[in-house]
Amino acid sequence: MVQWGGMWKKILRWLVPCLLTAGLLYGFLHDTPLAEIGRAFGRITWSAVGLYIALSLTGVWLRALRFHVLLSRRLRFVDLFLITLVYNFSVDLLPARSAALAFYDYFTKKRGVPLEKGTSSFLVAMVYDALALALLLGAAAAMMGERLPSRSILLGLLAITLASAAFIFGMRPALRLLRRWLHGWLERRPRLGAGLDSVEDYLHEHEGMSERLVLLTLSLGIRASKYVALYVLFVGVTGGAPTLSSFALVSFGVAATELSSFIPIQGLGGIGTWEAAFAFIFSQLGLALENPFLTGLVIHVVTQFWEYAIGLISFLYLALQKKGPAAA
């Protein structure tokens, strides 16, 4: 009985996303002629795809360099580059980037990095991502002219900026205070206490101002390369003329669409749920897209095909490699 229950959970884990993807694709595209879908994919030129790939690899290089700094150069850069490619394709596999964290922790631990340091570097990187996102969207808001976002959105960006800065500068003092409050409780749980010690030691190693500036600069570069790459595909699908104001608007739309990764139930690999969020957000932004779901689908399929192809190749290479010592 237990075995059947476990098997059904595994089946449902794959069946529900597949059904959700199929349902959303049918619901949004059942009245769309196949010829129109073909034309939408055909508008993406090889030059646009090539530029997207170049910008995507630039972002991977910058992200790997940031992990290199966060891990105190304990791993070879080439290994971190490959691990980052796996990270990129696994982001949409499970909600809230949990699959990306699992793969990242597994491969860094396999190469001699303690789990606490691997997890800490991942979470710190996410905070810098949030800070960079808020700063870039704040700059984008200044380019949008009459389409300036609502006050609530601007206040939200300010809140993200302040919360991220509070984490970067105040996490270690807050952790020490928490340890004092829970001293007796942690004494009865030595493994948890040791884990918190490791996290605090990690934060102490990475609290230099110069390193923080390097991490913020790299994070801004990561975000910028990502949104420029997606904008290249957007312009390719829609055929519009690239402008700073439309780039700013599309960046806001993509950033909002990315929140769909936190939905507890997603389509297979995010297909369907991402496009539905894209269609809703871009309709709210007032962009005159003939078929926003199809536009999102083309962009998503191109990005997913590239990231899954290069990510799975990297995954197989890393998985088949023998465990080796960490290298600077």
Render each residue's pLDDT in the chain as its tens digit; 328 residues: 445 556 666 666 677 778 888 998 889 888 889 999 999 999 999 999 999 999 999 999 999 999 999 998 888 999 999 999 999 888 876 666 777 888 888 888 888 888 878 888 888 999 999 999 999 988 888 777 666 666 777 788 889 899 999 988 888 888 778 777 877 776 777 766 677 777 778 888 888 899 999 999 999 999 999 999 999 999 999 887 888 888 988 998 898 888 777 777 777 777 888 899 899 888 887 777 888 999 999 999 999 999 999 999 999 999 887 654 444 4
Q: Is 60 in contact with 81 (CB distance < 8 Å)?
A: yes
Q: Is the dihedral of CA 112, 65, 269, 255 positive or negative?
A: positive
What is the spatial distance between Cα 124 and Cα 130, in angstroms, rounded to a whole number? 10
Question: How would DSSP label each residue in 285-324?
Answer: TT---S-HHHHHHHHHHHHHHHHHHHHHHHHHHHHHSPP-
Amino acid at 111: R
CB 194 within 8 A of CB 112: no
CA distance 328 to 322: 18
Parse the chain into domains and list their residue ranges. Answer: 46-320
Which residues are CB-neighbours of 169 under 8 A, at least 6 positions away?
none
Which pTM value belongs to this model?
0.86
Where does the chain have alpha helices with state H? 2-29, 34-42, 46-70, 77-90, 98-110, 115-143, 151-181, 183-187, 190-205, 209-238, 244-257, 273-284, 292-320
The HSE-up count of residue 84 (CA atoms within 13 Å, CB side) is 23
What pLDDT does 301 receive? 92
Determine the Cα–Cα distance for residues 196 and 88; give it in Å rounded to an integer: 28
Neighbours of 39 (CB within 10 A): 11
Alpha-carbon gap, residue 206 to 159, rounded angstroms: 24
